[in-house]
Chains A and B, each alone.
Chain A
Amino acid sequence: MSFFRQSAVALAILAAATTDLLAQRRITGRVTEEGSNAPLVAASVQVAGTATGTYTDNAGNFALQVPSGAVTLRVRRIGYQLRTVVVQADQQSVNVELKKDVLQLDAQVVTAQSGTIEKRTAATTVSAVGAEELNRVPAMTIDQALQGKVTGARINMNSGAPGGGGQIQIRGTTSILGNGEPLFVIDGVIMSNASIAGGANTLTRAGAAGTNIASVQDNRTNRLADLNPNEIEDIQVLKDAAAAALYGSRATNGVVIITTKRGKTGQPRWNLTQRAGASSLLRGLGTRCFADSSRAVSAAAAAASQAIAIEAFNAAKAANGGNIPCYDHVDQLFGETPMAWESALNVSGGNDNTRYFASASRKYDGGIAVNTGALRDNARVNLDQNISNKLQARIDLGYTRSVANRGLSNNGNDPNTSPLYAFGKIPSFLDLRTRDAAGNFPLNRFGGGGAATNTSNPFQTYQFVTNDENVDRFVGSATLGWQVLAGEVNQVRVEYQVGVDRFTQDNFLYSPNFLQYEAQDGLPGTVVTTNALSRQFNQVLRANWNFTPRSGIASFRTVAGVTEEQQGLNVGRVRAQGLIPGVTNVNQGQQLTFQNQELQTDQGLFLQTTALAFDDKLTLGAGVRGDRSSNNGDREKYYVFPSVQAAYRFVNLAPGIDEFKLLSNWGQTGNRPLYGQRFVTFGNTPFINGVNGIGTNPVLGNPDVRPERKTDFVMGFSAAGAGQRVSIDYSYVDTRIDDVLFNRPIPPTAGIAQQIFNGGRLRNKAHEATVTLVPVQRQSFTWISRTAFQQIRNVTEELPIPPFIPANTGFGAAYGRPRITQGVSTTAIWGNRPIFLDDGRVVTRDTIIGDAVPDHEMFFTNTFTVGRFTINTQVDWRKGGDVTNLTQNIWDQFQRSRDYDAPSPCRGQTSANLACVRNAGGVRTMLDTSATATQGAYRFSRWNNGNDARVYVQDGSFVKLREVSLSYSMPQSVARRLLGERISDVRLNLVGRNLAVFMDYWGMDPEVTNFGNGPIRSAVDLAPFPPSRQFFFSIDVGF
């Protein structure tokens, strides 16, 4: 008998009770803002203790059928404090005034699987980001929009390329070999955040040069990029294990709950948003201009040969009237200021039985380099239908088409097709951009050791290479809800939801035959097609039981349920080289094909109870989830994840302290093994003579793998006071992860190098604090200031195997990379540095030289409202967090860095200054201390071929002006005169993103990483796509 047929039987058994219809009456009312008396649109009005409710219309009016007798109405709207009013049995109408909730004390926070509770009473810490915050300043993707808005999360963009590509990590490193990304749930549907490589390393030659289907240096896009912020009502991040525990063995990295907008009863309400703006390069790298010919030639010769350098230099100088020209190639290639625009239209409305929300939007972000850009189309319909007063159905359908033209970037090798990688080697006197009369780009002979086919002209490459990513995605769900009981004491609701998330991603990479580098391998012309199909399916059956005894001392909320989730991903790639000119069909070239297929199923059972007692002052909760997975060694076994939580609220504790809440919780979650880790298989070798070979697998699977287990202990408090002018939230989190998945090293002479197993322990500690202040609150002027602080420390507490270098995190001891070692930070950067011994000798050691995790991060948000104008700013400050700056290493090596000619700090120094001494074969050797020593030569020679990696492991502290917005809300009378009587509100906005960055860091952006999404966050700056800043003017019209 199948899983869900049994569930259906269970549902039938549940059909035990019915309630009588009570006599009804109709009441009407109006909801306004306290003080201004402005009508509040779409405020929720609900009869307490029932599922009966409605929303206010454009004029703030509502009408509602309620039971006879006195009823209590709960009136709320996002951004306002909850208000409870009693409507007497003989009262027909009621007016309700709502107070602004600037401290968000009355906000609702979601709980895993069981709806929402008030933030005021919550015993777990949840970060919430509302629609307003999310959409204030448009971002390329949701990840980018969330930067600096989620306390406890570190959000990085992999590069500045259009189309996105980022990573979200919550409270530090939780895994080494497993999954490191949070679980994303949109309206109950678990959605894929896969990042699938497009095969760009076929051209960049990073890593295994296009032979690895999971190439991690391809500047991949994670598929969170498909979400449209306009459709989202709010995003909440369940961070504590106790909060996320009901997602069981997929919840270790936190759960991001995304809720889309839903229809509200009343006349159709339309919202139109039109944005138009532009992007430009935020920060380039600058360049070194050559003051004299000898330096120009010697720099150029390093990337080719003396003869080529002299010839090219003389030609460039002659063409420039005898002066040495200077081109900033990065500014030139990434110097476009393309249009960006967005059109979004949505409508919501309905009656008591049917409610709908529909939206359609199109957004285009032009890239700052030629032939790059990202286009996203979204459409969504969310339907709520009452079938009877007991049965409700919900159907949500979302569609996305994402098209991104991403150019090439990140790490490379010969033939230097990644632009910043190549520009570091090309002398600044060379004009690469000006095409000759026939339209041909100049040939670049620098970077390939003198052979032109070994290098590229990035201007030509960007002009002619296609690197497109096309995604078609459908996310949909159907939910059937059955209100079994709706009494005052007992309310029971049973829900069955089935959700589907399905997308195809097609990457098309084409490099035509005539490009400079294409001749290198003797097979001119390259085309790579990648086709990925992701299928996710989940279903959940759950029952919620709210129990409010008449004594009123306590109320209980219980949820129990069963889930099944299935995820499949099938990626295929064909690479063809040696094409007939102009042909892009893979059949026409020498082919290589790859495929990878994964499928996994998880089944879970959960139960949780929360009790609220003593006027909602005490919150107590306990829950448990049992999970089994096709990825575990023992597939039949349920792994159990318990949680408990408690909070107590003191009301009016002391003068000026209105609310004071202490909270604490303890919980466990899991991180199940990845697909494939449990299998003992043969390894594959290449084909030989038409036969595929198999042999010993270098990594032995383990039929006993089990989920990693995270245990969180959280303590915190919240306080609000001074007449709703101050609130403080603080939490301390102690996390341990046991049964960590590791590769046990086996001496390779056994013929096997590693075996996967569970063991060891990681330990993370985090402090998170948020302070909200309302320094000024007057009718004409308010100022709301929010400051968030976070600090994360992660340590490898127990390592059952010798120290090791995790895969895909760096480039060896010469440059610095993580090295998992017992007792030290998991994200510590290890690298070579000279150790000066007392006896005068010097040795080079691979030791800790930095840490990728910042000392702390702070986010400052300030909102000023002056009359009808609102100004909002978001500033992020990061202190510390080291970056491996390989971009500078290349630019120094080939003497291209902008500050190359600056004075060396070693000028006039003696051997007493150890920063000017290096290790030359065990002997202390002075660097150049002469009066002409330069900064660039100093850095590169101190680095000393990797003997001192500290030079390029650099502090990534920054202050970023992330968002600025200025908006003007037009008086309704003016708007109606201009645009017609139906208009309810019009807002004009002028916004900017990434407007400025203040830092000592040499590169463009310390928040980039060459290796996309992995469990260990390493910050490797290696020829990324440069970051851009964006400006928009937008108009929002509601009617």
Chain B
Amino acid sequence: MATINMNVRSDRMTRLLPSLAAAAVLLAGCSAERLNIPNFNEASTDQPVDRPLLQNLASGILAEQRGGMPGLVSNVGIFGRESYLYTSSEPRNTTLFLGTFPLDNSGFTNGQWDPRFRNARNAIELVRTANAAAFLSDGEKSAVQGFANTMRALDLFYVIATRDSLGIPTAIDNVTNQPQPFVSRDSAYRFISGILDSAATQLSAAGSAAFPFTLPPGFAGFNTPQTFRQFNRGLAARVHVYRGSLDCGSACFTAALTALGESFLNASAGADLRRGVYHTFSTAAGDALNTLSIPVTPDQLAHPSIRTDAQLQANGTRDQRFVTKIRTIATRNAPGGITVGIPTDVGFTLYSEQTTPLPILRNEELILLRAEANIGLNQFAAALQDLNYIRTTAGLLPPIPSLANRDAAIDALLYEKRYSLLWEGHRWFDVRRWGRLLTLPLDIPTHFRARVMPVPQAECLARSTLATNLRGPGCP
């Protein structure tokens, strides 16, 4: 075997090698300053707290909540046979909502989940941030707490209202992100009611302090802690009424009446039924449009039963609410391919412009909530007064002489709620709560009436390896 003679380095080379080594050592130690590159596109969570940051966080909560509303109204509208979404290139907006059982938990009918919980977390983070802000007065801190807790309650309300008997997790661990257990429907409503009540206390405690941020124009008249509290009490009444109709009974109806007394309910003659709190939209760069509006989504159509079921005014024209909210259009069919789809020739006029505001809570609903609470307490005379107030002023319909019994009262109430709060995200919840889901019409025999929206597949999968008590209800 040959031996390799390695002893051949020239003198020059022996001089070079150490130089090369020295160069390498020098370069290895080179500075890393150019490796510190910030994120140009999103704000770091690690930054000093000041008033503008609080404004951004509060605006984020409002924008996130606004972002979920058109989807809620559209989905609940389809389930509640108020509306259709006839996107011709996406027949699943019809088939998966009305004709495919069980409901799709992976894309179309699983909404009102991630962003709502994210926003609940945003509310918790806002309180934590404000509490640590030395520049805020105690009153201002209380105001922030009251605002955040009210918004958090509202987000959770939409989640439990769409999931109903499945229940939902209400707690959020914003430190470890550990999954929290699902709680029953009544526990969820009780929890929501509880944070609304603490929010009310915090808003009261704010006294004359102002919010340390500006609320959008949709909150005009409700943008100080004390006026915002009227909005909070209205929401509390809604939650009490829901609980009353479900698992709680008269105690909750009574609580609802108390809360309504502190809300902005106004049933005096000539009261503005539209007064309330709204989500507002804008065409300004970066802002959002109302995606329920005719120009943005012309495929949002109305269910023909709205016309069939509308009662007549004395002069023979239909319910004034029908007249102002519904228009006739050229017949559109559900997209569907082989079978020619379900036709409709009615559309909405409710959200006529790109930026038409979307109501969150308004006087008309408060009056009807009072009627509903009174019906729950079997106080039919009081209920009748409110129902007739709405019937005659909003519907221009003849008053109902009397309410024969609880069933008749509920029927009457549901009619008024249907037309007064048409396509504002209520009907499906209302008929379900009062056990009248079967009154919803089926367009074709193979359709069905959805009871609850499913827990999303992503939630199911992420919990699939957890202990049984932490798994998602209804998960396949």
State A680–B30 Cα separation when bound (angstroms).
Answer: 27
A653 touches B (CB below 8 Å): no
Interface string of A738-751 (1 = CB under 8 A from B): 00000001111111
A655 touches B (CB below 8 Å): no
Which listed segment binds A: B69-77, B172-180, B317-325? Answer: B172-180
B285–A593 CB distance below 8 A = yes
Chain B, Cβ-Cβ closest to A308: B330
B461–A803 CB distance below 8 A = yes
> Whole-angstrom distance from the CB of B326 to the nearest CB of chain A?
18
> Whole-angstrom distance from the CB of B299 to the nearest CB of chain A?
7
Q: If A6-B26, A449-B335 touch, does A698 touch B86 (CB 8 Å cutoff)?
A: no
Residues of chain B lying within 8 A (CB to CB) of residue A732 = none
Residues of chain B lying within 8 A (CB to CB) of residue A521 = 295-296
State A547–B10 Cα separation when bound (angstroms).
Answer: 11
> Whole-angstrom distance from the CB of B476 to the nearest CB of chain A?
10
Residues of chain B lying within 8 A (CB to CB) of residue A626 = 28
Q: If A10-B22, A17-B12, A543-B20 touch, does A749 touch B459 (CB 8 Å cutoff)?
A: yes
Q: If A549-B8, A696-B125, A812-B106 touch, does A14 touch B168 (CB 8 Å cutoff)?
A: no
Which listed segment binds B: A69-77, A163-171, A255-263, A597-605? Answer: A597-605
State A688–B121 Cα separation when bound (angstroms).
Answer: 19
> Whole-angstrom distance from the CB of A214 to the nearest CB of chain B?
11
State A449–B214 Cα separation when bound (angstroms).
Answer: 43
Partner of A689, one of B36, B59, B336: B59
Q: If A449-B333, A682-B43, A693-B56 touch, does A413 touch B87 (CB 8 Å cutoff)?
A: yes
A751–B106 CB distance below 8 A = no
B299–A414 CB distance below 8 A = yes
Q: If A2-B31, A9-B26 touch, does A688 touch B216 (CB 8 Å cutoff)?
A: yes
B27–A687 CB distance below 8 A = no
B30–A6 CB distance below 8 A = yes
B465 touches A (CB below 8 Å): yes
State A749–B465 Cα separation when bound (angstroms).
Answer: 16
Which listed segment binds A: B112-120, B226-234, B247-255? Answer: B112-120
State A685–B231 Cα separation when bound (angstroms).
Answer: 24
B404 touches A (CB below 8 Å): no
> Per DSSP, are chain A's interface residues mostly helix, strand or loop, or mixed?
mixed
Interface string of A521-545 (1 = CB under 8 A from B): 1110000000000000000010101
Residues of chain A lying within 8 A (CB to CB) of residue B461 = 745, 802-804
> Whole-angstrom distance from the CB of A523 to the nearest CB of chain B?
7
A692–B56 CB distance below 8 A = yes
Partner of A745, one of B10, B61, B458: B458
Chain A, Cβ-Cβ closest to B288: A686
B4–A3 CB distance below 8 A = no
Quick one: which of B39-53 are within 8 Å of A by CB?
Answer: 39-46
B449 touches A (CB below 8 Å): no
> Whole-angstrom distance from the CB of A597 to the nearest CB of chain B?
4
Which listed segment binds B: A468-476, A628-636, A764-772, A962-970? Answer: A628-636
State A1011–B78 Cα separation when bound (angstroms).
Answer: 31
A940 touches B (CB below 8 Å): yes
Residues of chain A lying within 8 A (CB to CB) of residue B62 = 688, 693
B194 touches A (CB below 8 Å): no
Partner of B89, one of A413, A490, A595, A605: A413
> Per DSSP, are chain B's interface residues mostly helix, strand or loop, or mixed?
loop
B271 touches A (CB below 8 Å): no
Partner of B32, one of A9, A421, A628: A628
A449–B56 CB distance below 8 A = no
State A351–B214 Cα separation when bound (angstroms).
Answer: 75
B295–A748 CB distance below 8 A = no
State A454–B283 Cα separation when bound (angstroms).
Answer: 22
Which listed segment binds B: A183-191, A270-278, A550-558? Answer: A550-558
A691 touches B (CB below 8 Å): yes
Residues of chain B lying within 8 A (CB to CB) of residue A979 = none
Quick one: which of B272-287 are within 8 Å of A by CB?
Answer: 280, 282-287
A605–B298 CB distance below 8 A = no
Interface string of B89-122 (1 = CB under 8 A from A): 1111001000011000011000001100111111
B441 touches A (CB below 8 Å): no
A601–B40 CB distance below 8 A = no
Residues of chain A lying within 8 A (CB to CB) of residue B113 = 748-749
A760 touches B (CB below 8 Å): no
Partner of B100, one of A688, A691, A945: A945
- Total A residues in contact with B, Cβ cutoff 8 Å: 121
A940–B87 CB distance below 8 A = no
Q: Which of B9, B101, B168, B333 gathers the greatest number of chain A CB atoms within 10 Å?
A: B333
A748–B10 CB distance below 8 A = no
State A591–B12 Cα separation when bound (angstroms).
Answer: 69
B331 touches A (CB below 8 Å): yes
Partner of B16, one of A492, A630, A750: A492
Partner of B332, one of A449, A562, A595, A691: A449
Interface string of A295-321 (1 = CB under 8 A from B): 000100111011100000000000000
Residues of chain B lying within 8 A (CB to CB) of residue A688 = 59, 62-63, 66, 216, 280, 282, 287-288
B269 touches A (CB below 8 Å): no
Quick one: which of B4-42 are within 8 Å of A by CB?
Answer: 4-6, 8-10, 12-13, 15-16, 19-20, 22-24, 26-32, 34-37, 39-42
Residues of chain A lying within 8 A (CB to CB) of residue B122 = 695-696, 751
Partner of A489, one of B8, B117, B282, B283: B8
State A685–B86 Cα separation when bound (angstroms).
Answer: 28
State A597–B120 Cα separation when bound (angstroms).
Answer: 30
B338 touches A (CB below 8 Å): yes
Quick one: which of A184-228 are within 8 Å of B by CB?
Answer: none
A10–B26 CB distance below 8 A = yes
A937 touches B (CB below 8 Å): yes
Residues of chain B lying within 8 A (CB to CB) of residue A451 = 298, 330, 332
A93 touches B (CB below 8 Å): no
Q: If A17-B15, A592-B285, A689-B59 touch, does A676 touch B41 (CB 8 Å cutoff)?
A: yes
Interface string of A559-601 (1 = CB under 8 A from B): 0101010100000000000000000000000111101111111
Residues of chain B lying within 8 A (CB to CB) of residue A492 = 16
B10–A693 CB distance below 8 A = no
State A451–B42 Cα separation when bound (angstroms).
Answer: 41
A412 touches B (CB below 8 Å): yes
Residues of chain B lying within 8 A (CB to CB) of residue A1006 = none
Residues of chain B lying within 8 A (CB to CB) of residue A937 = 338
B169–A749 CB distance below 8 A = yes
Quick one: which of A486-506 are within 8 Å of B by CB?
Answer: 487, 489-490, 492
Chain B, Cβ-Cβ closest to A14: B19
B23–A13 CB distance below 8 A = yes
- Supply 12 A–B pairs (Cβ within 8 Å), ascending by A: A449-B86, A450-B332, A522-B294, A522-B354, A549-B4, A566-B34, A607-B24, A687-B63, A693-B62, A693-B63, A748-B459, A804-B461
Interface of B toward A, CB cutoff 8 Å: 2, 4-6, 8-10, 12-13, 15-16, 19-20, 22-24, 26-32, 34-37, 39-46, 55-64, 66-67, 86-92, 95, 100-101, 106-107, 113-114, 117-122, 125, 168-169, 172-174, 177-180, 214-217, 280, 282-288, 294-296, 298-299, 330-333, 335-338, 340, 343, 354, 456, 458-459, 461-465
* Those 5 A-B pairs whose CB atoms lie nearest each other, nearest first: A751-B121, A522-B295, A693-B60, A10-B23, A695-B60
